Amino acid sequence: MKDRSKLTTEKRNPRSRGIDRLDAKGLVEIINREDGRVPTAVGRERKRLAEAVEIIVDRFRRGGRLIYVGAGTSGRLGVLDASECPPTFGVPPTMVQGIIAGGRRALVRSAEGCEDVAADGADAIDRKRVGCKDVVVGLAACGLTPFVRGAVERARRLGAGTVFVTCSPEVRRRVRADVVICPVVGPEVVTGSTRMKAGTATKLVLNTLTTASMIRLGKVYDNLMVDLKATNAKLEDRAERILMTVTGITRSAARKLLQRAHGEAKAAIVMHERGVTYAQARRLLSEAQGFLREVLSPSRPR
């Protein structure tokens, strides 16, 4: 598509015309009203979000990885989501990864020209040694970014699962991927500034993909992040509170139990509830494929 003015993400927003004449209160109000459209747009994509989650979970269970690929704001959001999975869900850093056009430097400084070569995206996929066990999620608000399109196409040819996230309905049918997620948030308050509504929609989509996938893998018990690793003061406090909530023990007892469990909240819960050692708790969890509910209530379905 040569004329990008036809893309929803590039159109002028009639509701924000004349914003340069508004005072601070008026600006905040109009931005807030537009932001309010984002959750509804993402909600309309829930069927496709669920399809993508099933693909991701299937690849995870086969030992595969989830790899985000993006440029600019989209790329940064992918790297951000990937980096937050290890402390939240106790997974290795290699399980969820982010690729951004321009590399690490582009995380903190604009490198927009790096997104224009499709072959560079394909090369990035090759460097990650992507295979049929992996899932590659392309992130491009406009849906046209060559680096992202090249990466997703390369991943598809390698047999990987593919998902594409865009906010431009005009390109939806032109994207070759297993699932295309397209929250239509409409034109931006500042024309073409996709770090705004499109960026917010992308963040919500990524939150949903990883959180839902990790829950399906048994990384959450009830609504508690029981697979976290207590590696700093904040996480130690959270782990202690989780133990107190699930087992009913005191803060002091939770702290001691967590120490015996090497900072692993899930293992600590099993140790207390089943009256076993750390090694036995790890074995029971392994036999239950990590599902704490299965260990605590073996007769109940997951």
Catalytic residues: 84, 115
Backbone angles phi, psi at 279, to 5 degrees: -65, -40
Strand order in the sheet with 96-100: 96-100, 66-70, 135-139, 161-165, 179-181
Q: How far apart are CA 283 and CA 266, in angstroms?
A: 12
SS3 state at 216: helix
Q: Answer yes or no: are the C-beta atoms of 221 and 246 closer than 8 Å.
A: yes
Q: Residues near 241 by Cβ (< 8 Å), separated by ≥ 6?
A: 254
C-alpha 93 chain-centroid distance: 13
Alpha helices in 62-196 (DSSP H): 72-89, 118-127, 146-157
Q: List C-alpha distances in Å: 219 to 16, 31, 87, 93, 195.
A: 43, 36, 12, 15, 31
Please tell me the distance from the alpha carbon of residue 174 to that of residue 164, in angstroms, as a whole number: 11
Please give the Cα distance from 181 to 49 (Å, whole number). 7
